[in-house]
């Protein structure tokens, strides 16, 4: 098949959607499909086994005039002639407009929803669903919607009550993220017990609570170090917390870590913590940590609850508070056997359920079903 993936974000931009689209493009290519990725122009990108179609700034702006299905995006579709147009995260311009151009011009369409914001606020979601009419029309006419979790499926159904939705989780490269390999970050950082956080430094991720938890842990585990990898607007807030609470020897702010170094960073840690407050549709970093053989402590929010089974392949926090985080970290520190058990089961879960080879095959089956249905419909007509 010829597949066109449309995304607002793509590496070197960071984030779950960018990572997901790159890995899907790579794995579909490995399965023998011809894949192109449509995204906006960013310097520093390198195509591997797929084609990159990048919109220059003037083209990007002109694409906004394409709600009729004509213009820049129609010309791209006519040149590439995809069997399937697969948009990711339609609450951004490129996926939304590409879907519109695709179904207007008769191409098979798929949308993957990566979002789960506001999923607890049912009444607000229903109101939003009717207000954002242009979104609803695109969702209704998309051949199939994929959601990365049941929570994400519930969210997108608000905008498209009649849509056919299939839940296919995020994937992880279990060969890349593995317990086996170098651990250079451990030597660089030092410390006897490394607690790792990877992600954006924003309020909803709860990373500030994790820093506050170190005020409890610095006396209980004197040689423990919290390692924070990521960037975001909370950086200065976290830095101030570290200085105010005398945590300079206990917390390390690494900033943005190169994607190539992430596997080593995970392997160098003893445990991984994701204390998200809300809006976690899935949590790709949780999968990366699990595949790397780390015991994971995470908040029971959104799609995280669908990945982690409490006290089996990870630990779910009872409360989203610094004290609760500290207690769970201390429990794992004091119980090496539990750490090992959780780590082994986490790795097993990642390999057996979330390896990208498994996930890409499920996506491929959705494409095949759509093409079969379109052929049947054409014959019937």
Nearest to 374 by CA among 81, 107, 104: 107
- Confidence (pLDDT) at 68: 60
pLDDT tens-digit readout, 152-168? 998 888 888 888 999 99
pTM here? 0.89
- Confidence (pLDDT) at 122: 46
Q: What is the torsion angle, in degrees rounded to the nearest 10, for the CA atoms of residue 264, residue 267, residue 270 and residue 271?
A: 90
- Confidence (pLDDT) at 337: 97
Positions of the chain with pLDDT under 50? 119-131
Query: What SS3 state is found at 278?
Result: coil
- Confidence (pLDDT) at 130: 46
Query: What SS3 state is found at 301?
Result: coil
> Can you list the domains of the chain with their CATH numbers?
2-171+356-380 (3.40.50.2000), 184-353 (3.40.50.2000)
| Long-range own/partner contacts, residues 348-352 (CB < 8 A, 24 or more apart) | 348/313, 349/290, 349/307, 349/313, 350/172, 350/174, 350/177, 350/287, 350/290, 350/291, 351/174, 351/291
Q: Which residues pair with 225 in a beta bridge?
A: 194
Query: What SS3 state is found at 335?
Result: coil
């Amino acid at each position: 098949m010829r597949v066109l993936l449309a995304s607002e974000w793509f590496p070197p931009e960071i984030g779950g959607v960018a990572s997901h689209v790159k890995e899907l493009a790579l794995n579909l290519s490995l399965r023998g499909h011809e894949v192109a990725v449509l995204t906006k122009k960013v310097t520093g990108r390198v195509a591997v086994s797929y084609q990159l179609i990048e919109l220059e700034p003037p083209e990007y702006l002109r694409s906004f005039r394409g709600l009729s299905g004509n213009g820049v995006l129609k010309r791209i579709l006519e040149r590439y002639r995809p069997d399937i147009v697969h948009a990711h995260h339609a609450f951004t311009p490129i996926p939304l407009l590409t879907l519109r151009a695709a179904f207007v011009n008769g191409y098979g369409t798929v949308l993957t929803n990566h979002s789960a914001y506001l999923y607890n606020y049912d009444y607000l979601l229903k109101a939003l669903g009717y207000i954002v009419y242009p979104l609803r029309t695109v969702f209704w006419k998309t051949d199939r919607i994929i959601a990365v979790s049941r929570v994400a499926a519930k969210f997108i159904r608000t905008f498209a009550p009649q849509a056919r939705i299939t839940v296919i989780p995020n994937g992880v490269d279990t060969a890349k993220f593995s317990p086996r390999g170098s651990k250079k970050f451990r030597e660089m950082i030092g410390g006897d017990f490394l607690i790792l956080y990877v992600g954006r430094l924003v309020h909803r991720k709860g990373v500030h609570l994790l820093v506050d938890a170190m005020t409890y842990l610095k006396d209980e585990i004197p040689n423990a170090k919290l390692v924070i990898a990521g960037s975001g607007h909370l950086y200065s807030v976290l830095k101030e917390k570290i200085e105010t609470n005398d945590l300079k020897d206990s917390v390390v702010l690494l900033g943005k870590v190169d994607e190539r170094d992430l596997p080593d960073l995970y392997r160098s840690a003893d445990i991984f913590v994701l204390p998200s407050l809300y809006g976690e549709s899935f949590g790709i970093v949780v999968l990366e940590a699990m595949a790397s053989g780390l015991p994971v402590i995470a908040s029971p929010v959104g799609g995280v609850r669908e990945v982690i089974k409490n006290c089996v392949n990870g630990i779910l926090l009872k409360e989203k508070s610094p004290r609760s985080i500290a207690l769970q970290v201390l429990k794992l520190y004091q119980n090496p056997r539990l750490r090992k058990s959780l780590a082994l089961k986490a790795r097993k879960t990642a390999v057996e359920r979330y390896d990208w080879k498994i996930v890409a095959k499920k996506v491929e089956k959705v494409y095949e079903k759509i093409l079969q249905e379109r052929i049947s419909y054409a014959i019937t007509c």
